[in-house]
Amino acid sequence: MIVKTLSSDHTIGWVVASFTTLAIVGLFLPNWVLNGTMFGLARGLAVLGLLLLWRTGLISFGHALYFGIGAYAVALLEKYTGVSDIFLRLAAALIAASVVGFILGFVLRNYRGIFFAMLSLAFSMVLYGVLIKSEALGSTDGFSVSQTTILGWQPETKYPLFLMIILIGALAAVGVHVYFRSALGHLTTAVRDNEIRVEYLGYSVARAIHLKYVFSAALTGTAGGLFAMALGQVDPDSMVNWTVSGELVFISVLSGPGSVAAPFIGAVAFEFLRTFAFELAPHAWQLIVGGTLLGIIFFLPRGLWSLMEHVLMRKERRRG
Amino acid sequence: MQATLTLLLDGLVYASYLFIVSVGLTIVFGVMKILNVAHGGFYAWGAYAAAYSIGVAAQLGLPDWFGLILIGVSSMCVGLIFGYLIERLILRRLYQHEEVIILLATFGLFLVLEDLILLVFGVNPYFAYQPMVYLGSVELGGIFRDVYSLSLLGLACLVAFVCWYILNRTKWGKILGTVIYDREISLAIGINVTTVYVWTFIIGATLGALGGAYISPTISVAPGISIDVIVLSFAVVVIGGMGSIPGALIGAVMVGMLRALAVHQFPELELFVVFAVMAIVLMIRPEGLFAPAKVRRI
């Protein structure tokens, strides 16, 4: 109940408020924190794409495919046309990922559960297999991506890019939130609960899933593009390999499916957890991640966001 | 002619290796309905345990053939210890969850097992060539191959035969079949499903470790060896049909041959062909080529 009221009234307000706060705080952050936050938020956008599918009960173990396509679209656009404008770069990432998502969607919309996860993995590994062996696509080294310009203006700091990332993140979060509240969005949970009944109601489950899949691909592709711009480089192992998909799924589990804001919080938390874990215990980094994943599955099945829900629920109870 | 023979041998050796690694994965899936990503961790632990113990044996001055025994012993130890602990402590608490959540849990376990290796064995590679040197090499139709890789073929046949025999000719096979068919009914007729699950997982883990242990003399055992293996054995199992042992065999032969062909003729397509075939098979037969028929429950 309370979650519903919360998201119905406040989510958009919350997103705008956090956007403004981040935009102001960003001005004073030291460079490494700014970078970490950018990586985190870009990944968060990708995880938002996964959340879209997760609400239907689908977990994609191959979303690195779209993350990689977005990133490589940015890099290849620059390599072949020299374009470095942020809007053109984002358009390239978004279009490339949506087109591939649209085509693969025809196949994937017929699969559920483990088979959906595995087939997604297979598709992403096909791309990985092509990338690491193809000289024209940069092989295992990938490419470097030059600094992003905004409508011909070359900013001196990373702050404008940061601003763009939080702007896009906020827009995407609001967009997905509005989508979840539309008729098509409500179909999401219905499909998860009972597909056959949804069909009897006169909706096409396959079409609803296909549409969702393309949205999800577009979000993750854009995220990949932003990530490539923030990092200044693309390469197959840190963007397309199956471990990247695993990482994205890990962040979704960490954040929980409760809210459109959760992926961003989870992803930024993950980014800094990783930075510190690398400092403190470089050989135990995966141990920490794996242990956290198990811990979340056992003790916090609805992710970090459920802690937030808990707090809000208590507050509401006191008030009512 | 010689090129064809080389290709055939390479393909078969690689297929045997893939079969040994994937058969454990498919058994665990068939009985417990768990797609076990941690299988890659068992593989790596098997490889490290074997390489380490062979190294120690060589330092103690034990004969080279002793390494072959150590391979068997270390994979059994790894399978028994990790298989038992993981099933008892973690997996059995998750059986009521969705399959995909269990998949994620095993992914977490995989990451933990990977780093435990770094903590226990360090980051430097291990070499355990003694068993390979001991078996020497042989000439086959004009090409030289080391006997050790060829013995993989024999081991794969042995594993396949033992699996077939246990499943089709023993009481254990009957019990397993019952548990696979209907878990609740098996409980009702007095089968100890908990024990069946523990042993299935231990056997699956041991086979994974055996794959790693047996291959360890031919490779340098270094961090990260399990990453490729786990996705390749997924491909094998998915192509053949998850839960089917003949399927794993066919899948292994297909992937092994395709990879050999790709490596010899079109090296840039090596990974691509494997996963392209996996995607195509899944598109045509979502359950894989040899998946057992399933009752559709509405």
pLDDT in tens, B40-52: 999 999 999 999 9
Q: What's the half-sphere exposure (Cβ side, CA atoms, 13 Å) at A231?
A: 23
Among candidates A259, A256, A301, A263, which has minimal Cα distance to A3? Answer: A259
Residue B21 forms part of a structural domain: yes
Query: Could you tell me the end-to-end alpha-carbon distance of chain A, in angstroms, rounded to an integer?
Result: 13
Report how far residue A230's alpha carbon sits from residue A165's, in angstroms, rounded to the nearest whole number. 9
Q: What count of CB pairs under 8 Å joins A to B? A: 127
Which domain, by its residues, includes A46?
2-319
Residue B14 forms part of a structural domain: yes
Q: What is the DSSP string of A222-280?
A: HHHHHHHHHHTEE-HHHHTSHHHHHHHHHHHHHH-SS-SSHHHHHHHHHHHHHHHHHHH
Distance from CA of B131 to the nearest CA of A (A): 31
Q: What is the DSSP string of B234-246?
A: HHHHHHH-TT-HH
Q: Which residues from A are below 8 Å from B258, CB to CB?
A: none
Asked whether the beta carbons of B59 and B45 are under 8 A apart, the reply is no
**Residue B290 confidence (pLDDT) above 80:** no
Q: What is the pLDDT of residues A80-107, one digit of tens each?
A: 888 888 899 999 999 999 999 999 999 8
At B276, the pLDDT band (50, 70, 90 cuts) reads confident
Q: The CATH number of the domain where A248 resides is what?
A: 1.10.3470
Report how far residue B21's alpha carbon sits from residue B209's, in angstroms, rounded to the nearest whole number. 8
Asked whether the beta carbons of B114 and B226 are under 8 A apart, the reply is yes
Please report the residues numbered 14 through 33 in chain A whose beta carbons come closer than 8 angstroms to any beta carbon of chain B: none
Of A126, A241, A284, the CB nearest to B115: A284
Q: What is the pLDDT of residues A159-190, one digit of tens each?
A: 888 988 999 999 999 999 888 888 888 887 88
Integer CA distances (angstroms), B281 to A104, A168, B241, B243, B277, in order: 15, 38, 10, 16, 6
Among candidates B68, B81, B53, which has minimal Cα distance to B221? Answer: B53
Residue B206 forms part of a structural domain: yes
Amino acid letter, residue A60: S
Residues whose CB falls within 8 Å of the CB of residue A299, separated by 6 or more in sequence, listed in order: none
Residue B18 forms part of a structural domain: yes
Which domain, by its residues, includes B19?
2-284
Integer CA distances (angstroms), A259 to A1, A264, A286, B111, in order: 14, 10, 27, 27
A281 touches chain B (CB under 8 A): no
Residue B61 forms part of a structural domain: yes
Average pLDDT rounded to a whole number, residues A27-35? 86
Minimum Cα–Cα distance from B267: chain A residue: A133
User: Across the interface, do B286 and A283 touch by the CB < 8 Å criterion?
Assistant: no
Integer CA distances (angstroms), B271 to A133, B266, B283, in order: 9, 11, 19
Q: What is the pLDDT of residues A208-243, one digit of tens each?
A: 899 999 999 999 999 999 999 999 889 888 888 888
Asked whether the beta carbons of B16 and B251 are under 8 A apart, the reply is no
Residue B297 forms part of a structural domain: no
Residue B134 forms part of a structural domain: yes
Residue B50 forms part of a structural domain: yes
Number of domains in chain B: 1
Report how far residue B211's alpha carbon sits from residue B218's, in angstroms, rounded to the nearest whole number. 12
Report how far residue A235's alpha carbon sits from residue A241's, in angstroms, rounded to the nearest whole number. 10
Q: Model's pTM, two decimal places?
A: 0.87
Number of domains in chain A: 1
A249 touches chain B (CB under 8 A): yes
Q: The CATH number of the domain where B185 resides is what?
A: 1.10.3470
Average pLDDT rounded to a whole number, residues A260-287? 85
Tell me the pairing of strands A143-144 and B143-146.
Answer: unpaired
> What pLDDT, on a 0 to 100 scale, did the predictor assign at position B224?
81
Query: In the 8-state DSSP scheme, what is residue B48?
Result: H
ipTM surpassing 0.90, yes or no? no
Asked whether the beta carbons of B82 and B206 are under 8 A apart, the reply is no
User: Across the interface, do A113 and B99 touch by the CB < 8 Å criterion?
Assistant: yes
